[in-house]
């Protein structure tokens, strides 16, 4: 190849190399640029990361310093807490879930008196053991093992009940243990010695005060008892004196003495009752009794005042309610007498209604009895209602000032009802009347409960003539229950207009507004309706018995009418009357004279008080009996043997041997003879529980002082043996 060709070839090669170089240089600078950019980005990242690291480091530093501060605070708080726990007087300890002691304050540990074993790590069961083995605790008569078991059982409970323990030094510690979530237990041991001692002192003080109160009440009870004996003498004597010839002035004086004496006796009896309740000397004596009869007896007792005031006393005893219960009849009667007596006292116009309802509970053989005593009297202001059940509380206003009383009646009543497990309340509207209600639960007695008679369709239609709406409602309910159709009329005129042949019986009130019951009977006879049986209802049957038209009527029912009496009378209607059915309305039949085979009835009276002996002797002076006295219980027992009485009146409180002991002795002697002489207790105040144990001591009946001639006669009459002469010419009249 030529030189030129070679040169050209070299030049081309050089140019190519220069181009390649140029290209590589371009690539290199591009790569350099990229590298530069990358380096820049990298250093930026590094810068940022460095800043972040800085921040985190700062934050870490801060957290670290916060933690140090917090730790310092915790330490301070813990120290303070522990310091506080150490300084409190009561024991404080905490245990882990395995019942190991974690820590306890000085008060807690002080009980263990430096025993090194009682330190963190010791178990609770071991602590209990140390308490007993070291004699640190007084567990009384409880056996040690029993105490341990009981305490461990308590400890295992999720919420252990507080427990009071007594230490050897007489300190009382109340243990309060709280189980936490993880099973830890915090134990508090509170020293309650001061409050236990204070409580004991208070209890002792209260007991002393109660004993003083009981002593005061017992003193009052004794005093009233002592005052009653002479008072009974005074009242009894006035009764006898009133039967002697007296001029008007003397009679006035005598009546004043008697009324004042009786009023004083009522007050004394109230005080006595109240003191007895206060002195805890009053207990109930349950026995079987007829509740309906009890109510009627109270109604009868109050009838004279009801009559004098022109009021009407009504009894509405639920027909479906049993009448025989087990309870303390004396106390029930006392409650009723107080409430019904008040209703009569504070009512001057209208009526008093005793309503008895109840809910029998056959499973428990009891009955929830509700009694309401409604009156139309002066009522009680709302602001006074809350006070009347308190002691000596009477409503002090003009309307009340006219009424006497001690203000103890309702307090006694409330306490008696509470004693019987019942409750009492009152609703009242001033000027309209009051309603006192009480309820109690009484066991039903096992005897036969009254069953309404089966009239066998004889009295299909009965007409009731009665002006008082409440009484009309009660009677029509009672008669409707027997299946009779009932027509009610409010006056005699209305009855005469409504009467027709369908009526089989006319039940008529005696005191109608337009005519009395007997006048109605006379009109009926004049109208040719004399065959229609007429039964007259009256609160004062004596007036009717003496009336010339008495023979026109079938019979008289005394108001308030005992349900049993009404039923018996209805059943007897239409049947031929037996003499016994006639007897209640026909008391005039004379008994035969004493025959040769008969002897005089012997009556023994055991009575230490001369005044009372005199009263009794005078009261029976008209009776054909042989009366002998014994001055104390020993004499009574002797006379029982020597005199062989047919009846004994026995005073209860007598010297040497009291009436109960004497009767018990007589009953013991009678076991040999097989005889049983009726013994009648003479008590100062039977209603208020003086009858306690009287009947159980073998006495058959009791009479309360001041003695009443009528009741004494009744006792003699009912207990006269058949072989004795009649004691009175007209025996039927005596009662």
Would you tell me which residues interact with ligand ADP (CB under 6 A)?
A: 338, 342-343, 346, 375, 377-380, 388, 393-395, 400, 405-411, 434
- Round to whole Å and give the CA distance between 323 and 535: 25
Token pair in block for residue 313: 């006393």
Nearer to ligand ADP, 225 or 399 (CB): 399
Nearer to ligand ADP, 139 or 426 (CB): 426
Nearer to ligand ADP, 12 or 401 (CB): 401
Least distance (Å) between residue 343 CB and ligand ADP: 4
Least distance (Å) between residue 506 CB and ligand ADP: 35
Phi, psi of 314 (to 5 degrees): -120, 145
Strands of 118-216 (E only): list them. Answer: 137-138, 163-167, 172-179, 185-191
Nearer to ligand ADP, 26 or 432 (CB): 432
Peptide bond preceding 96 in cis form (omega within 30 of 0)? no
Nearer to ligand ADP, 385 or 564 (CB): 385
Peptide bond preceding 560 in cis form (omega within 30 of 0)? yes
Question: Exposed e or buried b for every residue in 58-81, given b needs 16+ CB within 10 A?
Answer: eeeeeeeeeeeeeeeeeeeeeeee
Nearer to ligand ADP, 357 or 400 (CB): 400
Half-sphere exposure of 730 (CA within 13 A, CB side): 8
Identify the DSSP state of 500. Answer: -
Nearer to ligand ADP, 409 or 659 (CB): 409
Least distance (Å) between residue 550 CB and ligand ADP: 37
Nearer to ligand ADP, 152 or 402 (CB): 402
CA 67 to chain centre: 70
Least distance (Å) between residue 434 CB and ligand ADP: 4
Least distance (Å) between residue 387 CB and ligand ADP: 8
Bridge partners (DSSP) listed for residue 372: 355, 437
Nearer to ligand ADP, 170 or 386 (CB): 386
Least distance (Å) between residue 225 CB and ligand ADP: 20
Give the three-state DSSP class for 105: coil
- Round to whole Å and give the CA distance between 109 and 119: 8
| C-alpha closest to that of 325 among 414, 447, 439 | 447
Least distance (Å) between residue 394 CB and ligand ADP: 3
Nearer to ligand ADP, 390 or 447 (CB): 390
| C-alpha closest to that of 342 among 405, 286, 280, 266 | 405
Strands of 362-453 (E only): list them. Answer: 366-375, 423-429, 433-443
Least distance (Å) between residue 694 CB and ligand ADP: 27
Least distance (Å) between residue 646 CB and ligand ADP: 42
Least distance (Å) between residue 284 CB and ligand ADP: 21
For residues 639 and 630, is the Cβ–Cβ distance under 8 A?
yes
CA distance readout (Å), 551 to 487, 496, 521, 545, 559: 25, 20, 10, 9, 20
What's the farthest any 2 CA atoms get from each other in the chain? 210
Residue at shortest CB range from ligand ADP: 405
């Amino acid at each position: 190849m030529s030189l030129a060709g070679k040169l050209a070839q070299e030049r081309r090669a050089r140019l190519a190399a220069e181009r390649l170089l140029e290209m590589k240089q371009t690539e290199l600078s591009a790569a350099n640029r990229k590298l530069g950019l990358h380096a820049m980005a990298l250093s930026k990242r590094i810068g940022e990361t460095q800043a972040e690291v800085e921040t985190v480091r700062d934050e870490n530093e801060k957290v670290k310093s916060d933690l140090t501060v917090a730790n310092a605070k915790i330490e301070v708080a813990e120290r303070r807490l522990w310091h506080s726990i150490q300084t409190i007087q009561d024991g404080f300890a905490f245990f882990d879930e395995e019942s190991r002691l974690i820590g306890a304050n000085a008060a807690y540990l002080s009980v263990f008196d430096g025993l090194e074993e009682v330190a963190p790590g010791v178990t609770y069961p071991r602590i209990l053991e140390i308490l007993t083995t070291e004699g640190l605790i007084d567990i009384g008569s409880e056996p040690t093992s029993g105490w341990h078991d009981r305490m461990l059982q308590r400890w295992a409970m999720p919420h252990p009940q507080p427990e009071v323990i007594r230490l050897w030094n007489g300190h009382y510690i109340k243990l309060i243990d709280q189980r936490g979530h993880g099973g830890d237990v915090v134990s508090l041991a509170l020293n309650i010695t001061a409050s236990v001692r204070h409580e004991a002192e208070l209890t002792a003080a209260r007991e002393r005060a109660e004993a003083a109160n009981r002593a005061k009440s017992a003193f009052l009870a004794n005093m009233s008892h002592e005052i009653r004996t002479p008072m009974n003498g005074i009242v009894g004597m006035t009764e006898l004196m009133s039967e002697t010839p007296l001029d008007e002035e003397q009679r006035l004086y005598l009546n004043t003495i008697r009324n004042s004496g009786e009023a004083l006796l009522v007050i004394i009896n109230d005080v006595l009752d109240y003191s007895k309740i206060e002195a805890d000397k009053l207990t109930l004596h349950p026995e079987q009794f007829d509740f309906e009869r009890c109510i009627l007896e109270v109604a009868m007792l109050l009838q004279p005042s009801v009559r004098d005031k022109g009021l009407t006393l009504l009894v509405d005893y639920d027909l479906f309610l049993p009448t025989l219960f087990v309870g303390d009849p004396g106390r029930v009667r006392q409650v009723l007498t107080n409430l019904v007596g008040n209703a009569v006292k504070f009512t001057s116009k209208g009526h008093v209604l005793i309503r008895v309802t109840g809910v029998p509970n056959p499973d428990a053989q009891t009955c929830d009895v509700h009694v309401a005593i409604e009156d139309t009297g002066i009522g009680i202001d709302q602001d006074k209602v809350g006070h009347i059940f308190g002691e000596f509380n009477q409503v002090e206003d003009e309307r009340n000032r006219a009424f006497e009383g001690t203000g103890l009646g309702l307090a006694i009543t409330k306490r008696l009802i509470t004693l019987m497990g019942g409750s009492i309340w009152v609703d009242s509207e001033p000027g309209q009347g009051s309603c006192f209600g009480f309820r109690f639960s009484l066991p039903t007695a096992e005897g036969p409960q009254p069953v309404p008679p089966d009239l066998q369709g004889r009295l299909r239609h009965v007409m009731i003539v009665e002006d008082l709406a409440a009484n009309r409602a009660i009677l029509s309910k009672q008669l409707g229950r027997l299946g009779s159709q009932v027509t009610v009329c409010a006056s005699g005129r209305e009855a005469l207009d409504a009467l027709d042949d369908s009526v089989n019986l006319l039940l008529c009130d005696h005191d109608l507004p337009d005519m009395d019951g007997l006048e109605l009977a006379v009109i009926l006879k004049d109208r040719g309706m004399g065959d229609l049986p007429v039964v007259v209802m009256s609160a004062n049957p004596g007036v009717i018995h003496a009336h010339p038209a008495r023979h026109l009527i079938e019979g008289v029912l005394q108001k308030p009418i005992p349900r049993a009496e009404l039923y018996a009378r209805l059943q007897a209607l239409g049947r031929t009357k037996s003499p016994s059915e006639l007897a209640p309305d026909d008391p005039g039949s004379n008994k035969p004279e004493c025959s040769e085979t008969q002897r005089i009835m012997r009556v023994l009276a055991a009575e230490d008080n001369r005044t009372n002996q005199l009263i009794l002797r005078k009261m029976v002076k008209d009776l054909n009996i042989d009366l002998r006295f014994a001055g104390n219980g020993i004499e009574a027992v002797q006379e029982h043997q020597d005199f062989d009485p047919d009846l004994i009146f026995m005073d209860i409180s007598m010297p040497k041997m009291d009436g109960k002991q004497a009767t018990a002795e007589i009953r013991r002697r009678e076991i040999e003879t097989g005889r049983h002489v009726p013994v009648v207790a003479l008590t100062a105040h039977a209603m208020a529980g003086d009858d306690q144990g009287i009947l159980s001591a073998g006495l058959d009946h009791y009479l309360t002082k001041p003695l009443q001639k009528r009741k004494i006669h009744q006792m003699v009459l009912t207990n006269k043996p058949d072989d004795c002469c009649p004691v009175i010419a007209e025996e039927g009249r005596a009662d």
